[in-house]
Structure 1
Amino acid sequence: MTENWHDPYAELAQLRDFGSFSVTSSSVDHGQPIPAVHRSPGQGGSSISPQLSWAGFPAETKSFAVTQFDPDAPTTSGFWHWAVFNIPANVTELPENAGVLGGANLPAGAVMLRNELGERAYTGAEPPAGTGTHRYFTVVHAVDVDALDIPLDASPAILGFNLHFHTLARAILVPTATAEDWQ
């Protein structure tokens, strides 16, 4: 919510110094409202994950993870929209709809965890009316191991915990949404 604009990744950086690199998207823009196609069906969208490209990551990167998290959801734990890990180090782009249910559009070896709706898929933005502007932290993590050993039934929070110890650098893109954007 707008009055609570903390940055959860800045808070983590106080515990450990992470490097950074760049992420861009032809689908969403930093600080701008998320286009309709990337919204949830409840907001008239299709829950199509955004296109992402990244560059400038550390040379010692062995794999990547991509997550999308809304810290402004009206919960004490936020809302995980997407969590993918073990993306091979030679992959520097995910096309639109890479987060399709079941992961058929992900690169070989990548693993997608269940989102907050219990689906192995990307789920689009759907901020409830009256909860202000929500930020969707879309983060590419450069990872120091080829593969994280995380059970398929783990939560995105477990992935986040493991990433804290294996992330070399992060690239962060934060599009926004309010319920009023789509009325």
Structure 2
Amino acid sequence: MMHLHKWIVGIGLFTAVFSSAQAMTLSSKDIGEGQQLSNQFVFNGFGCNGENLSPELTWRDAPNGTKAYAVTAYDPDAPTGSGWWHWAVYNIGGDQQQLTQGAGSKANALPQGAIALKNDYGTTNFGGACPPQGHGMHRYVFTVWALPTPLELPKDASPALLGFMLRSQALGSAKLTAVYQR
């Protein structure tokens, strides 16, 4: 009976320790979970007439051991068979907790050391929402990834390769999903 009591107490302590750890969060002053993107964050081209600004993103409660971050923006609903990468930035310093509005849209606005990959529009800048006319609502998944070390990728790496590396090495992640249709 005493053995069972120790086991139950041990499980309780284990649960208390792991449930007290806060989950990593991602928030924005510019976009809300499940909310329609404003014209500021819509692409300017391909028949869309937006401002093509990247939204402000703030993250908190990264896992212990985080030394770098990556941020991705992805449309899983694009009719390509593989979605659409709007933004892929990695090696954001571990001391950063925010990207300001327009950080992905202006030259040299990313934190020092951060590397932006070419998106599916063919540029290293943020590419705003621009789903096909009449295709219905699309989801735009903004994700921050906590990493134990900066990543070493080829200079011409694709966002898909970055996504693979992030999923295999991330200590944690947090998402914020906005929507848009035209």
What is the TM-score with the length of structure 1 in the denominator? Answer: 0.84
Structure 2 counterpart of 1:116: 120
- The aligned amino acid for 2:143 is V
For the Cα contact (< 8 Å) 1:101–1:122, is it kept in 2?
A: no
- Equivalent pairs counted in the alignment come to 159
Q: Displacement of 1:151 after TM fit? A: 1.4
What is the CA–CA distance in structure 2 between the aligned matches of 1:45 and 1:137, rounded to whole Å?
18
Any idea what SS the aligned residue of 1:174 has? strand
What is the TM-score with the length of structure 2 in the denominator? Answer: 0.84
What is the CA–CA distance in structure 2 between the aligned matches of 1:152 and 1:55, rounded to whole Å?
29
Q: 1:172 aligns with which of 175, 178, 181?
A: 175
Structure 2 counterpart of 1:163: 166
Q: Displacement of 1:20 after TM fit? A: 4.5
Q: 1:107 aligns with which of 108, 111, 120?
A: 111
Q: Could you list the per-position Cα deviations for residues 122-159 of structure 1 after superposition, in whole angstroms to 9, with x for gaps in the alignment?
A: 000001112111000100000111x1011121110000
Any idea what SS the aligned residue of 2:171 has? strand
For the Cα contact (< 8 Å) 1:101–1:120, is it kept in 2?
A: no
What is the CA–CA distance in structure 2 between the aligned matches of 1:94 and 1:101, rounded to whole Å?
12
Structure 2 counterpart of 1:153: 156
CA RMSD of aligned residues (A): 1.2
Q: Could you list the per-position Cα deviations for residues 9-52 of structure 1 after superposition, in whole angstroms to 9, with x for gaps in the alignment?
A: xxxxxxxxxx9410110111110000111101132211100000
Q: Displacement of 1:101 after TM fit? A: 5.3
- The aligned amino acid for 2:68 is S
Structure 1 counterpart of 2:89: 84
Q: Displacement of 1:166 after TM fit? A: 1.1
2:141 is the alignment partner of 1:137: yes
- Structure (1 or 2) with the larger CA radius of gyration: 2
2:56 is the alignment partner of 1:51: yes
- The aligned amino acid for 2:92 is I
Q: Displacement of 1:66 after TM fit? A: 0.0
Q: 1:127 aligns with which of 131, 149, 157?
A: 131
Q: Percent identity at matched positions? A: 41
2:103 is the alignment partner of 1:98: yes
For the Cα contact (< 8 Å) 1:66–1:84, is it kept in 2?
A: yes
Ranges in structure 2 where 5+ consecutive residues have no aligned partner = 1-21
- The aligned amino acid for 2:146 is A
What is the CA–CA distance in structure 2 between the aligned matches of 1:75 and 1:31, rounded to whole Å?
22
Ranges in structure 1 where 5+ consecutive residues have no aligned partner = 1-18
